[in-house]
Every structure is written in C-alpha cells, then in structure tokens.
Amino acid sequence: MALTEEQLRCRDIILSQEYADFIVEYGGNIDVMVNTYNPSCYEVINSSYVVIHKPLPEDGQLNPDEYGYNMIPTVMGLMDTTSMEESGILPVHYSPASGYRGSGVLVSIIDTGIDYTHPAFRFSNGSTRMLSIWDQTIQSDNVPENFPYGTLYTSDDIDRALFSEEPMELIPTRDEEGHGTFMAGIIAGSEDTANSFVGAAPEASIIAVKLKPAKDYLREYYVLKEGSVAFQETDIFMAVQFSLKQAAKYRMPLVICLGIGNSLDSHEGTSSLSQYLNWINNLTGICITVAAGNELGRAHHFSGFIPGKDDSQNVELRVGENERGFQMEIWGSLADVFSVEIVSPEGERIARSQSRLGVSQRVRLLFEDTEIYLADKSVGLTSGQFLMVLQFRNPTPGIWSLRVYGDRISNGRFDIWLPMEKFIEEDTYFLSPDPDITVSSVATTNSLIVAANYNHYNNSLYIHSSRGYTASGFIKPDIAAPGVDVFGPLPGGRYGQMTGSSVSAAHAAGAAALLLEWGLLHVIIINMDGNDIRRLLIQGAIQKSGETYPNKGWGYGAMNLKNTFETLRVLR
C-alpha cells in the first residue's frame, strides 16, 4: 500500500539528520500538545506519550536548555546448551507432565536485527517460524500500519525469500552485529541435534525489530565513543508499540526481550521508557525481560554523602588519553541541592557556582582545549529529584577533581554515573568508585524481570555482571541466568559463543514464554502478567548455601524453571 503524501513527509522528517526527536508526556490531549510544541510531525505511542520531531538549529546542535531532561531521548547500547540444562529449561521441554516448548506464545526481539535464513528460525520443512520483521533501517512503502518508516516483512514475504534462489535480493535485512540473531536463538531457536543446540522456547513464534542507529545529533550531544553501536529511546518506544500491535493482531501472549541499556538517568525507574515498560508489564499476557548490564569493575559509579550545608566531598576522575568526551550526571534527593567546583589535570579551575533550577553555563578552559557544560536539569523531572548534568568535550587526559558542595541538605546522599562501557574509553573512570547501583537504568524498573549474568560452568557471577540495588533500594536484579560463553546461533548459519547479561535476559525471556504457555494458554492463571512470571521465577530460584538472599549480585538466586514448576506443585 502506497504511503500518503503526509506519511512520506513524516517519514522523511523521522529519518532526517536535520530534525530532533523528543518524548512528550502529553496527558492524552493532542490539540494542547500541538499548540504547545508545534511539532513538524508526531507519532502517538499511547494516551500518555507521544514522539514529536522539530527542526534542529542551523548548526545542527541540540540546545539542551530548551528542553527538559526526560524529553531528550537517551541512547542505548548492546549488553553483550548446557545453559538450558542449568536453567532448568530442558527438563520442562521433555517432562511427560508438561512438555512446554513455547507453543502459542509470541516473542519479540528488539535489537540489531536477525538472520532470518538461519535454521534456528525455520521449521523442519524450511519455512519460517517468524511472523514478521520490522527493519527500521530499510525504507519502502511497505511500512507497518501506523508506523511511517522502515519496512515490514510478513511470514509470507519471508517464505517467498527463503524458497527463492537469492533470499537477500527479496528481503535484504541483515544482522551485521550478530547480537539480535544470538538473542533470538537463545530465546526461541529451533532444535538442532547436529549442533547440540536448542532455544528455551523452540516452538514459540518470533518477531524481530531491527532498530535504526541513533541520529548524529544525539551521538554528538552525548559525546559517544566513535564507532559505538547506539540506538535512541524514541525508536525503542516505537518497537515496543509495534510488538504490542503484533501480539494483538495474532491474539497471542507476548514476551519482549531488551538486551540493550545505558548507565545514565536516576536508576530509580523514573525515565519515560521505564514507566512505559512498567505499565505494559502489568497487562495480562505481557512479560518483559531486560539485561542487568555489564558495568561491575568499570568504575563508572560514585556515591557520596554530604552532612550539611557548605560541607563538601572530593571526587577524582581519571580521563583516558583518547577520550573525546562524555556526559556524567549527579543525582540527589528532591530536598537536596548541590553545586560543584572543577579542577583540571593542569590546574585550571571552574569556580563553584550556586545551583539554580534550569540555569546552565558553558565554560571553555583558558589554557586547555576542553569545554564543559553544566546545567541544573531538575525542572520537569517526574521524580522531583535533584539532577546536574555535566558534559565534557575534548577533556584533558589525567586526573580531574570535582568537589561537590551541599547548597541545601536534607538527605545528603548523591550519586554520579558515567556512561556505559561501550560509550566511553575504558581508561576513563572514578578513582574511588562504588560497585553497587550499576545495573542498567532501564533495569531499575520495578516490575520488569531483570537478569544478572553468571557462569553456569563454575556457578560464579560474571566478573562484570552489574550489581543492584536501585538507587532507592528496590531489589534488582531479580534473578541470575547463564551468560558466559553461551553457545548459540550467529549470522550465516553458524553457531558460536557470546558473553553478556543480554544473554542472561534471553534465557529469562525463554523461561517466561514457557510460563505463559503453562499459565495463560492452559488457563491455570487467567490474568497472568509479567509480575506473576517475575514472582514465579523468583520463587524457583536456586540459592547457594551460606549466601544471604536477596543480594546485590544474584538477586533472589539462579533461575531454574524446573524448580519453579516443582515449587508450584508444592504450593498447589
């Protein structure tokens, strides 16, 4: 179906590097939103959120002073079968009493795409197990309904390609990174006895969304490391909404797996995306799993305490030789106000200035090629917290000193986060870091199933598996799942190994699909939602003797689906 003139105009704006994208919490009144923001184009997500697009200034740079913190999309990066046995999934496949394999459940992988030609996503007769692929990076008239960009490929389209001599000529979508293909395989890959592989839910139906790369202005705004893979929050919003519409179309329960995340934001589940996902996860028949992250040992979190007004604490930050820049954020409680004094490695000083709501300053050092932007971004935060954003461009390598002062103190605690390891040079870090509260920001969302990463070969936590809890003390991660040297499918019909908490989230997503098949499709729990599944996985988690649970590394323990079902028999 050909796009209308208005849809074509909107698509061009969405893809254009000359337009900025924003997330607006609009309260359901579109007319008021349009009159307030005058967008060039917009897409309604639901009755709470809308994505709008506005022209960038002539210099192509976003002016952050014009927009609230939550309006500017965050950028997210990748969180990169004995594992099925260890997770208690294989026994559930083959149990005479259950035999659950994900039949009738839809799983959605929102990631780098998928190799749809891989045997892991095909039936034994060669036809596809995929219901659809939405590739946001390929533009055509064949867009999903109510989504004005990308290309939709249906199962019929995919089968036509698979049974042709040159599948890629008909459907040119590819997974250049291999991350999405691997994730999809762990969740729902078909059994391949020759390669000793099977996914957690090998009879589930699959949809995949290939996210388009983050726009250049956002990469520059956040000063991301060159070459890093990054996606923007607005496209993730749209991908989640697409997944919901596909589940409604096929009348199937849905599991969404997010193997992406970031390290900025409040770490209290207060971002627009976190609140949207939290709402979805409470809907009947929907479950969302996310990766805890791979930030332990990266030294990207600092926590401090200031007892009273005008007291201070020094924070030392090492900046690496090749660091082009980064954004860091200072968060505090709603009753506290902080200010900072900054001293460069060469001794240049940015004097302490009293923090004022909505006030910013941009400083270029006199004898160094460093520019620093400081802004109090507390205005407009739904949580009411204190937030100061600091952006460093061309920072001088060496040890920087940030002295944090208390301007008004009630609680006194503050936290500072640097970007995730894929967005920053590895030799940029705090000298006295706090290893806790390093879970990905989206992983601090209360109701989502958050999976930490453990090595199922020796039953130990992965060295970089992010630790909880949330900044407000809510218990995350929920469980740990295998994520070290896990065997799974790679593009080109190959198999290989991958490590990361995204792999752990994929195991949890597969387990969730089996629980949805058991609970919802077999009418055991008629209104089963993501919270129910989270609780069941927690109840079945295996806990080591001598350990105290829950804890900040393992959550409530190692996921074991077989034990979950055994626990259910006892409870019933």
- Residues 355, 411, single domain; the answer is yes
- Residues 306, 291, single domain; the answer is no
Could you give the C-alpha distances from 524 to 109, 516, 517, 520, 521, in angstroms and in order? 26, 10, 10, 6, 8
In a domain, 149, yes or no: no
In a domain, 559, yes or no: yes
pLDDT by position in tens, the chain (length 572): 578 888 899 999 999 999 999 999 988 889 999 999 999 999 999 989 999 999 999 888 998 888 889 999 999 998 765 577 778 888 888 766 667 999 999 999 999 999 999 999 999 999 999 999 999 999 999 999 989 999 999 999 999 999 999 999 999 999 999 999 999 999 999 999 999 999 999 999 999 999 999 999 999 999 999 999 999 999 999 999 999 999 999 999 999 999 999 999 999 999 999 999 999 999 999 999 999 999 999 999 999 999 999 999 999 999 999 999 999 999 999 899 999 999 999 999 999 876 677 778 999 998 889 999 999 998 777 778 999 999 999 999 999 999 999 999 999 999 999 999 999 999 999 999 999 999 999 999 999 999 999 999 999 999 999 999 999 999 999 999 999 999 999 999 999 999 999 999 999 999 999 999 999 888 788 899 999 999 999 999 999 998 999 999 999 999 999 999 998 875 44
In a domain, 203, yes or no: no
Q: pTM of the prediction? A: 0.94
Catalytic residue, chosen from 21, 111, 135, 478, is 111
In a domain, 292, yes or no: yes
Residue 531: what residue type?
N
Total domain count, the chain? 3
**266 counts as catalytic:** no
Q: 74, 102, 121: which is the final residue of a domain?
A: 74
CA dihedral 462, 465, 469, 471 (to 10 degrees): 160
Give the CATH number, domain containing residue 507: 3.40.50.200
In a domain, 507, yes or no: yes
- Residues 322, 262, single domain; the answer is no
CA dihedral 460, 462, 464, 467 (to 10 degrees): -60
**179 counts as catalytic:** yes
- Residues 290, 314, single domain; the answer is no
Instruction: Spell out the residues 6+ positions from residue 117 whose beta carbon is closer than 8 angstroms to its own.
Output: 162, 167, 493
In a domain, 529, yes or no: yes
- Residues 405, 333, single domain; the answer is yes
- Residues 354, 454, single domain; the answer is no
Tokens of 327: 């954004």
- Residues 360, 460, single domain; the answer is no
Q: 403, 430, 457: which is the final residue of a domain?
A: 430
- Residues 308, 421, single domain; the answer is yes
- Residues 91, 238, single domain; the answer is yes
Q: 47, 74, 101: which is the final residue of a domain?
A: 74
Catalytic residue, chosen from 53, 93, 118, 179, is 179
Instruction: Provide the residue range defining the domain that includes 220.
Output: 82-112+178-188+214-296+441-571
Residue 137: what residue type?
T
Q: How far apart are CA 267 and CA 337, in angstroms?
A: 18
In a domain, 282, yes or no: yes
Catalytic residue, chosen from 274, 378, 502, 504, is 502
- Residues 481, 531, single domain; the answer is yes
**Token pair 């035999």: residue:** 99
- Residues 318, 426, single domain; the answer is yes
- Residues 426, 326, single domain; the answer is yes
**111 counts as catalytic:** yes
Q: What spatial distance separates the first Cα and last Cα of the chain, rounded to whole Å?
A: 52
Q: How far is CA 192 from the centre of its chain?
A: 30
In a domain, 395, yes or no: yes
